[in-house]
Structures are given as C-alpha cells and as structure tokens.
Amino acid sequence: MPASLKLIVGLGNPGPEHSETRHNAGFWFLDRLAEKYGVTFTVDNRLFGLQARIRDGGKDYRLFRPTTYMNDSGRAVQAVMNYFRLAPEETLVVHDEIDLEPGTIRLKKGGGHAGHNGVRDIISMIGSHDFIRLRIGVGHPGNKDKVVGSVLGRPSRVEKKLIDEAIDKALKLMPMLLEGEIENVMTQLHSSEKQKEESEK
C-alpha cells in the first residue's frame, strides 16, 4: 500500500512583483487548491512560510508556501518537514517546469532537480530525492541564456489559459493523489495528454 501524502508544498517567489511570473506556478496551484477546499493561509514565521490545512476523506493534509525566495526553498521545506516529522515520501512539491510545454502537467516520484533551483535546494537541505513532484509546464524560451528571464517573466494570455487548464486536470485528481495513488494519477495525466494530442492531429 503506497504512503498517503501529508504535506503539499507549492514553490514560488514571495512578493507582488513575482505573483504573475512563470516561476510562481507552484503558488498558483496551491492557491487554487486552498480555494477548492475553502481554506486560507496563515503566516508561520517559525517555518519560514504560510500554511493551511485541508480535510479530505476524513484525513488532514497540510498546504505550505515558503516565504523564502525560490533558491532558498529548502530551508523552509526542511523546517516544516522536521517540525511535523514528515518523510519525503509523504511530501508533494509543486513547481514550474520549463522542459514541459504550457498545458502539460506531470507527476513523478524522486529523481534529480533537472536544473530547477528550488528543487535543487530542497534535495540539498533534506538530504533526499524521494519526495513526489507535480511539474507544471511553463515552456522553454529556446535558449538556455534566456531561461532566467523567461521564468521571471509573465506567460502570455494563451499560455496562462493552458497552464490553468493543466492545473484543473491535477485538481480533479487530488483525492486520488492524497491517498497516495501515484501510479494511477500519473497514468491519468499522461492519458489525458495523449488524447489531446490525438484530437489535435
């Protein structure tokens, strides 16, 4: 039986100047999730972040938004995991992914950081790769020298619509994901993308 999730972390940069940028896709997802369950975030300075609790299927789950900058995400994630004595396998980290096109969303367990500085810092601070990742496609600018400017920039209206639709897909599967049905959610996200590709041919 797979371990159920207990903590969902959304990654991004704090401050209104960053709120609409691609790098904050993890925050967008977490805000939508909190809205879906009718909860609001409260500041917890001990944990360097904002947290909320949702209830689904008779179980409680913690939502967490670091108030550290993206490159320092590990300090906040380590703090909340240590405080609540949570294992990496019980933790879902939601983040933007430049290697996926807008409209694509993928789930995976473990692996490297693939150049994502927030994920890199989490791995370094908690000493483990074994957390679950929900990767929200924001697209690649086509040149590695433009990556920083791209993730710190705003998506176009069309791109934002595609990203929001991808987030919708994942939100519908959250009850399964909260129960730890990782493989089933992976399959459903992948099959929905395949169906979309087929319909566009």
User: Out of 18, 23, 95, 190, which one is annotated catalytic?
Assistant: 23
pLDDT recorded at residue 57:
86
pLDDT recorded at residue 1:
47
pLDDT recorded at residue 191:
78
pLDDT tens-digit map of 157-175 = 999 999 999 999 999 999 9
Determine whether 23 is an active site residue: yes
pLDDT recorded at residue 190:
81
pLDDT recorded at residue 66:
98
pLDDT tens-digit map of 64-97 = 999 999 999 999 999 999 999 999 999 999 999 9
Alpha carbon separation from 121 to 1, 4, 11, 45, 69 (Å, rounded) = 30, 24, 11, 19, 11
pLDDT recorded at residue 196:
60
- Is residue 12 within 8 Å of residue 138, measured between CB atoms? no
Over its length of 201 residues, how does the chain's per-residue pLDDT go in tens digits?
A: 456 899 999 999 999 999 999 999 999 999 999 999 999 999 999 999 999 999 998 999 999 999 999 999 999 999 999 999 999 999 999 999 999 999 999 999 999 898 899 999 999 999 999 999 999 999 999 998 999 999 999 999 999 999 999 999 999 999 999 988 999 999 998 876 655 655 555
Single-letter amino acid, residue 17: E
- Torsion, Cα 177 89 138 98, to 10 degrees, reads -150
CATH label, 7-200, candidates 3.40.50.11540, 3.40.50.1100, 3.40.50.1470, 3.40.50.10860: 3.40.50.1470
Q: Please tell me the distance from the alpha carbon of residue 127 to that of residue 124, in angstroms, as a whole number.
A: 5
Single-letter amino acid, residue 184: N
Mind giving me the DSSP string for 91-144?
EEEEEEETTS-TT-EEEEES---TT-HHHHHHHHHHT-S-SEEEEEE----SSG
pLDDT recorded at residue 198:
55
| Cα torsion 45, 47, 50, 51: sign | negative
